[in-house]
Amino acid sequence: MAIEFKNVSFRYPNGYMANENLNLIIREGEQVAIVGQNGAGKTTAVKLMNGLHKPCEGEVLIDGTDTKTKTAAQIARTVGYVFQNPDDQIFNPDVRSEVAYMPTKMKLSETEIKERVKWAMELTDIKKYRKENPLDIPYPIRKFVTIASVLAAKPKYIILDEPTAGQDRHGIEI
């Protein structure tokens, strides 16, 4: 099982070629870092992995399934994506609702939702913020809210786009 890019190219509507002829295999359980200069196409590549972008050429396969045949919402059950900027991801009125969003959409039992939310909030050390509006808490904590919201869905693959941006030493160590 893997995320696989086969001769993938992606061009933005303005004509900018962000990825060209990209070939990559990330196997289940591997930890991979994609590094490069600003504008090198890193974020574009990871958005191809979870269906937010569809390739102009080539195939992106998630466990053998072409992302062109699935919606981003369908892919999100398998490939969780934590945005670089948490404010682009957060939309619920309180932290608990944000973390519970995907498990609720997955139609899990209320017991399972509560267990996953508790687990994800404890793991990311955000439990004390559960009743707060996520947009009212500090930026580094908002990052952990988005990480917890993806963890609570328990996807097979997790993509973290710039996970340490805006974090202090304690946040990076968590």
CA 76 from chain centre, in angstroms, equals 8
Q: Are 130 and 94 in contact (CB under 8 A)?
A: yes
What pLDDT digit, counting tens, does each position of 38-60 carry? 888 999 999 999 999 999 999 99
Share of the chain above pLDDT 70, in %: 94
Q: Is 116 left (phi over 0), alpha (psi -120 to 50) or beta?
A: alpha
